[in-house]
Structure 1
């Protein structure tokens, strides 16, 4: 029996003639709870599909700026469709619209891995995409999650990690106040701890903080021998550039390291050029490893 009971609900269908793409709102089950996503389909026959996993405190369209008004993942989905690739971008449980059954405070790395594996299972039985041609893009914490999806599933044609942490302790230690982390780890599992980030204020529970110390992205990606693209910015002060080297070193298989003079958000507060270059490089990498 499949690990997850899958449910699909097509609630709306939107067309974009400029990009020859339709988008459908979908839901499926992860650990008995609802996950919301957007399935973007290019015109024509069922196409290879890319799963898009968002970052810490993000949601499925991801960061929107004046240069990227549709959101980093919203516009990535358009570029994928133009290249003849479908995509499924999801809100992890507790994020975006996936809040019916879980609050953000309850999110953990492992809960997000479960959600991503559920998305993979959903695509495997979908007749709307080529279910034997599935790729994965994870940005930031979504990249951390992607290392486990790649290593544990054995079902991906290729993986792209965009600014993904290899060392969660160092990365999240630079974002979260040490006192908040110590308070959470010393408290009860159901206690909510307030965390002030540079861009927002959130609450998290003990499980999230325990994952910072127990989750090993390098060990997870070491279990994956398929094609791997690691993209990293030399100007990134959130996930430091040495994380990319650690992921490449841990992986044994076809791989590419793509470095650019970009920050953690691909310079999107000033331009869309770098994101366009990254998406084009990712698409080319996927197509080069199309089986």
Structure 2
């Protein structure tokens, strides 16, 4: 097992700060790194086990709190100021920071996004193809704009704040994705993509994962029987193993 270090850091951009945690193996050679993006009302802690697993095997990891992305976020912004596109900016800032770290192989940066973080990772990868070596998506919430457009087909009755799943969102969250078609903004990413999705997911239907796998030029999907929006311990371990294998095969 390789020794590794864990460090808290803050990344400044656009007048705000992102709280992040790095998990870096103590090895002489430069190493690949995986940037983990959490889902709606999640946090950097959601990928603690994933990150430690990779660090023990010689692959770096970074997880972070989206600004305004959770009631427990250690990053800046209120939840009412968060949108898909502020999160896009946050992940982009983390990529920019990681690229400059001395011990990181800047040619081997991977994105791993869960749920809403999967949507963000997919959007960012499509715009930064040359910088991202591979993309991993865990039940990616590509349905978010569709879901909100169904709730508010027009904006005339959209309130200033919306309480949704324990988080108070601002009007801008819905306004910014009104009429937004996700599949028009992903699919240019032509490097390898691996999607993990449960066949019993009631939050993000499997159809979205299947459609994404068909939409990318080089994508595979691992369907987990009986799993919903969140996996069992044994299948989470399988995700760890497959993530490591994916990074090694593509580095």
TM-score normalised by L of structure 1: 0.78
- Which structure features the higher share of strand residues? 2
* Contact 1:42-1:86 within 8 A present in 2 as well: yes
Equivalent residue in structure 2 for 1:48, among 1, 11, 32 = 32
Partner of 1:167: 143
Between the aligned partners of 1:31 and 1:118, the Cα distance in structure 2 is: 9
Q: CA deviation at 1:237?
A: 1.0
Q: CA deviation at 1:171?
A: 4.6
Give the superposed CA RMSD. 2.1
Equivalent residue in structure 2 for 1:138, among 113, 122, 126 = 113
Equivalent residue in structure 1 for 2:17, among 5, 24, 34 = 34
Unaligned runs of 5+ in 2: none
Instruction: Name the SS of the counterpart of 1:230 in structure 2.
Output: strand
Equivalent residue in structure 2 for 1:233, among 194, 198, 218 = 198
Q: 1:215 to 1:23 in 2, by over 3 A?
A: farther
Partner of 1:104: 79
Q: 1:193 to 1:143 in 2, by over 3 A?
A: same
Q: CA deviation at 1:193?
A: 2.6
Per-residue deviation, residues 158-217 of structure 1 (Å, max 9, x unmatched): 00010012332445579xxx4xx57976357xx32333x2xxx22111111124434433
| Pair 1:265 & 2:240 matched | no
* Contact 1:185-1:209 within 8 A present in 2 as well: no
**What is the number of equivalent residue pairs in this alignment?**
245
Instruction: Name the SS of the counterpart of 2:104 in structure 1.
Output: coil
TM-score normalised by L of structure 2: 0.90
Between the aligned partners of 1:122 and 1:210, the Cα distance in structure 2 is: 30
Unaligned runs of 5+ in 1: 1-17, 63-72
Q: CA deviation at 1:21?
A: 2.0
* Contact 1:169-1:212 within 8 A present in 2 as well: yes
Per-residue deviation, residues 92-124 of structure 1 (Å, max 9, x unmatched): 11141003xx10111000000000011111111
Q: CA deviation at 1:39?
A: 0.7
Partner of 1:147: 122
Per-residue deviation, residues 19-52 of structure 1 (Å, max 9, x unmatched): 6221010111121211110011112123111100
| Pair 1:223 & 2:188 matched | yes
Per-residue deviation, residues 238-266 of structure 1 (Å, max 9, x unmatched): 111101111112211x2211111211111
How do 1:1-291 residues align onto structure 2 when only pairs under 5 Å count? 20-45=3-28, 46-62=30-46, 73-94=47-68, 95=70, 96-99=73-76, 102-154=77-129, 155-171=131-147, 178=151, 181=152, 186-187=157-158, 191-195=160-164, 197=165, 201-252=166-217, 254-261=218-225, 262-267=227-232, 272-290=233-251
Instruction: Name the SS of the counterpart of 1:145 in structure 2.
Output: helix
* Contact 1:19-1:78 within 8 A present in 2 as well: no
Q: 1:112 to 1:221 in 2, by over 3 A?
A: same
